[in-house]
Amino acid sequence: MNNLLLLALAPIAILATYIWLRDKYEREPWTMLLKALILGALTVIPILIIERFLMGFIHNFSGYARAFYNAFVVAAFSEELFKFLFLYGLIWKSKEFNEKFDGIVYATFISLGFAAVENVMYVFQHGAQVGITRALTAVPAHFLFGVSMGYFLGIARFFTYRRPAMIRMALLIPMLLHGIYDFILMSQNHFLLLLFIPFIIGMWRFGLKKMKELSDSSVFRYNYDSKDKLFPQS
């Protein structure tokens, strides 16, 4: 049991440490990071309720339509929606959200909190082989969904004129990536399955590019006394 728990949580710890180290200008307080992980884990509760409700309609679909509904509506919609809502509630008005890259940090921690609970459930139910597979696929995928969510939320936080569009993107892009990921697997189409590894590689390239873009950009902090004005870190 201890080995299975370690197998389930090790990729979570590795990716959490990685993104923490990438936050090179001002690392976030451990209390806030812990809150993000806990909130991410707690998203499982409303997600399971909504997914169970949505699964009640799946009998209306068959074939690829069934896979599409399951991937995009049941899984991607419900999971990314509640990750976004919990993330927004945690950081949008927080004084700790003072760099664009912070959006990525907190979004990935929320996603990893959810992935931790999901991974433990799968590994304890299906065993070590599934744990190894998920460590290389599903857990990094949730991490990368979080990167895309945090990237657009970070842009929205610090560029008022782009805010409405970027907030929409912070929700829709992770849903799209998540839906495509699940649809490829659920469709069981051999041609689509051949695209799975290239899709994973593409998500990593996209995620690393977005992390580098915000990490290497000029550091801006939010001035809470200046009515949404920005000023560079001194």
The percent of residues in the chain predicted with pLDDT above 90, rounded, is: 81
25 pLDDT above the threshold of 70? yes
231 pLDDT above the threshold of 50? no
CB 104 within 8 A of CB 147: yes
pLDDT value of residue 160 = 83
76 pLDDT above the threshold of 90? yes
Average of pLDDT values for 177-195?
94
Average of pLDDT values for 167-177?
97
CA dihedral 97, 103, 109, 110 (to 10 degrees): 100
24 pLDDT band, cuts 50/70/90, is confident
Token digits of residue 154: 């970070």
User: Does residue 132 sit in helix, strand or coil?
Assistant: helix
209 pLDDT above the threshold of 80? yes
223 pLDDT band, cuts 50/70/90, is very low
Half-sphere exposure of 197 (CA within 13 A, CB side): 3
Token digits of residue 121: 């459930």
pTM of the model: 0.89
Q: Would you put residue 221 in left (φ > 0), alpha (ψ -120 to 50) or beta?
A: beta
pLDDT digits (tens, 9 = 90+) for 87-105: 999 999 999 998 899 999 9
Domain residue extents for the chain:
2-215
pLDDT digits (tens, 9 = 90+) for 121-132: 999 998 999 999
Q: CB neighbours of 94 closer than 8 A, spacing ≥ 6? A: 32
Q: What is the mean pLDDT of the chain?
A: 90
221 pLDDT above the threshold of 90? no
218 pLDDT band, cuts 50/70/90, is very low
